[in-house]
């Protein structure tokens, strides 16, 4: 192999020549080596450290946020009154029970019928699938009840009005009034509690004004627990349907 | 002495050139080494100054404090869940009792309700009475109810007179808004 050194003469690159080259440039080797090592240090140590700094900074930011969340949660929780939360939960669970609440439904009908002066005749529950895990794909499963009541037109309308302000939460889906007799279809909603995988690290938000006022409103709803159980006035002529034979009262 | 004589041999000049090059390379190497070492140390120190451990410690302390309040936390979550779901149910449920109230409120005295049917889509009302003036007032009121956007497509199915009892009967149907 021929190599041109200094651009003046051609030299055959054999071992002898390499030795000559080494002798000639050996003083350059150390500084060149230092430069190469420095470049390697930059590539393999400094750059990763800078990258790590950037990652660590992001991690610190995330951890700081987590700490803030935890502190906020702790502050909020310590500021809440145990008795109030328990009472709110009880009230709301009566208003929207976690499962089919037949006793609550019967109590509600009983209470409202007594309050509005109507007499309850036949009624018929449509229970649907009794398996608690199957809610027919609806977000808000309900128990449907077809109810016959007797009274004046105004009292029948009052019954429909009062039943939606009574625990458990209900929806009147049809009203037929004819000659002092009314038949109502009422849906009583329920909703299972969510899974109990409560994480301490999820941000807890204080209840909004709307949520707080809803709790206040719901606590004013008719409730047998608050008013004491009233007897259901049943018309002597009324008889239970085939589905629900016999009044539970 | 001849002033044109060059006392510095070309070999020395070449050597000096190489010495200069060597000096430049050495200085460059030293500068790069110092710079790299400086940056590495600086980055290392900056990394050390990040308060990750302190934050983790504070997190642990807060978590242990919060764990005492876990029951309260669970109850609070359930309250939130109930409120949100209840709010959804209330907002989506039909207002049939309100419509029934509104219908009963517009019936003038002297008229009586024969039958009333209200469902999610429509209402049907049969009213009877002896006064045609009251009937007229009822129809006006029903139209007003339509203007209040409570009902729409109001149709008066029939207005009849039973001569024997001298009673007028009107049948009204409408769709719910």
**Using CA atoms, how far apart are residues B131 and A243, in angstroms rounded to an integer?**
45
Inter-chain residue contact A175 with B90, CB threshold 8 Å:
no
Same domain (yes/no): B60, B107: no
pTM exceeds 0.80, yes or no:
no
pLDDT higher than 90, residue B90: yes
Q: Are B103 and B162 in the same domain?
A: yes
One domain for residues B101 and B172: yes
Which strand (E) or helix (H) includes residue A10?
strand A9-12
Domain boundary among B37, B62, B92: B92
Number of domains in chain B: 2
Specify whether the CB–CB gap between A143 and A185 falls below 8 A: no
Helix axes A153-163 and A102-116, enclosed angle (nearest 10): 140
Nearest CA to CA, how far is B25 from chain A (Å)? 6
A96: nearest Cα among A46, A158, A39, A140: A140
Please tell me whether residues B164 and B105 are part of one structural domain. yes
Q: What is the pLDDT of residue B148?
A: 84
Whether residue B62 is found in the same domain as residue B74: yes
Identify whether B69 is part of a domain: yes
Q: Which two tokens stand for residue A83?
A: 């008795």
Within 8 A of A178 by CB-CB distance, chain B residues are 114-116
Instruction: Report whether pLDDT(B8) > 90.
Output: no
Based on the fold, state whether residues B140 and B69 are members of the same structural domain.
no
Q: Are residues B78 and B100 in the same domain?
A: no
B108 and B85 assigned to the same domain? no
Q: What is the mean pLDDT of chain B?
A: 88
Inside any domain, residue B42: no
Q: Does residue A196 register a pLDDT over 70? A: no
Same domain membership, residue B123 and residue B108: yes
What mean pLDDT is reported for chain A?
A: 81
Identify the CA nearest to B170 among candidates B144, B145, B133.
Answer: B133
Question: What's residue A13's pLDDT?
Answer: 63
Burial class (CB in 10 A: 0-12, 13-18, 19+), A75: exposed
C-alpha distances (whole Å) from A221 to each of A89, A164, A175 are 15, 9, 21
B11 part of a folded domain: no
Interface probe for B, chosen from A41, A67, A210 (most Cβ of B below 10 Å), is: A67
Residue B31 lies in a domain: no
Q: Which two tokens stand for residue A202?
A: 């999820």
C-alpha A184/C-alpha A113 separation (Å) is 13
In a domain, B32, yes or no: no
Q: Which tens digit of pLDDT belongs to each residue from A16-37?
A: 888 888 888 888 888 999 999 9
**What are the domain boundaries of chain A?**
13-71, 84-193+207-227
Provide the percentage of residues in chain B whose pLDDT is more than 90: 43
Q: Are residues B166 and B121 part of one domain? A: yes
Has residue A229 got a pLDDT over 70? no
pLDDT value at A230 more than 80:
no
The pLDDT-based confidence of B5 (bands split at 50, 70, 90) is low
Q: How far is it, in rounded angstroms, from Cα A239 to Cα A150? A: 13
Chain segment A88-145, per-residue pLDDT in tens: 999 999 999 998 888 899 899 999 999 999 998 877 776 665 555 544 456 788 889 9
Query: Are residues B101 and B167 both part of a single domain?
Result: yes
Contact residues, chain B, for A163 at CB < 8 Å: 97
Of B74, B92, B110, the residue at which a domain comes to its end is B92
Residues of A in contact with B66 (CB under 8 A): 70, 73-74, 77, 200
Fold of A84-193+207-227: Alpha-Beta Plaits (3.30.70)
What's the domain range around B156? Answer: 96-176
* Bigger pLDDT: A173 vs B67: A173
Domain membership of residue B68 (yes or no) is yes
Predicted confidence band of residue A235 (pLDDT cuts 50, 70, 90) = very low
What's the CA gap between B145 and B141, in Å, rounded? Answer: 6
- The answer to whether B36 contacts A38, with C-beta atoms less than 8 Å apart, is yes
Domain check: are B145 and B163 in the same one? yes
**pLDDT-based confidence at B117, cuts 50/70/90?**
very high
- Closest residue in A to B115 (Cα) is A178
Residue A7 CB partners (closer than 8 Å, separation 6+): none
Place of tokens 């007797």: A150
Q: Are A182 and A152 within 8 A, CB to CB?
A: no
Helix axis angle for B70-92 and A209-219, nearest 10°, is 80
Nearest to A35 among B29, B52, B87 (CB): B29
């Amino acid at each position: 192999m021929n190599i041109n050194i200094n651009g003046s003469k051609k030299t055959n690159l054999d071992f002898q020549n390499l030795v000559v080259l080494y002798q000639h440039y050996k003083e350059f080797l150390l500084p060149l080596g230092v430069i190469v090592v420095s470049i390697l240090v930059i590539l393999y140590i400094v750059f990763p450290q800078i990258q790590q700094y950037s990652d660590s900074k992001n991690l610190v930011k995330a951890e700081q946020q987590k700490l803030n969340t935890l502190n906020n949660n702790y502050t909020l929780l310590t500021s809440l009154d145990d008795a109030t939360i328990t009472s709110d939960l009880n009230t709301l669970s009566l208003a929207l029970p976690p499962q089919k609440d037949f006793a609550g439904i019967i109590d509600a009908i009983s209470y409202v019928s007594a309050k509005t002066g109507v007499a309850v005749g036949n009624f018929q529950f449509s229970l649907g699938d009794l398996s608690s895990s199957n809610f027919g794909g609806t977000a808000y499963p309900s128990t449907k009840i077809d109810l016959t009541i007797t009274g004046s037109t105004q009292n029948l309308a009052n019954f429909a009005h009062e039943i939606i302000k009574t625990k458990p939460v209900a929806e009147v889906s049809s009203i037929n009034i004819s000659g002092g007799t009314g038949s109502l279809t009422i849906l009583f909603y329920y909703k299972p509690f969510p899974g109990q995988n409560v994480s301490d690290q999820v941000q807890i938000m204080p209840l909004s004004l709307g949520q707080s006022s809803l709790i206040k409103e719901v606590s004013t709803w008719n409730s047998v627990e608050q008013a004491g159980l009233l007897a259901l006035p049943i018309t002597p002529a009324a008889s239970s349907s085939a589905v629900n034979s016999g009044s539970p009262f | 002495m001849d002033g044109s004589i060059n006392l510095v041999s070309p070999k020395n000049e070449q050597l000096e050139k190489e010495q200069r090059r060597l000096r430049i390379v050495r200085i460059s190497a030293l500068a790069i080494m110092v710079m790299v070492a400086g940056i590495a140390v600086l980055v290392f120190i900056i990394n050390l100054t990040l308060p990750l451990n302190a934050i983790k410690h504070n997190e642990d302390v807060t978590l242990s404090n919060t764990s005492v309040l876990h029951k309260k936390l669970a109850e609070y979550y359930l309250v939130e869940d109930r409120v949100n779901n209840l709010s959804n149910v209330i907002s989506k449920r039909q207002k049939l009792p309100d419509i029934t109230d509104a219908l009963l409120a517009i019936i003038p005295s002297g008229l009586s309700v024969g039958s009333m049917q209200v469902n999610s889509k429509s209402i049907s009302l049969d009213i009877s009475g002896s006064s045609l003036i009251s009937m007229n007032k009822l129809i006006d009121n029903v139209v007003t109810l339509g203007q209040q956007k409570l009902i729409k497509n109001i149709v008066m199915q029939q207005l009849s007179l039973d001569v024997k009892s001298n009673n007028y009967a009107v049948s009204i149907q409408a769709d719910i808004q």
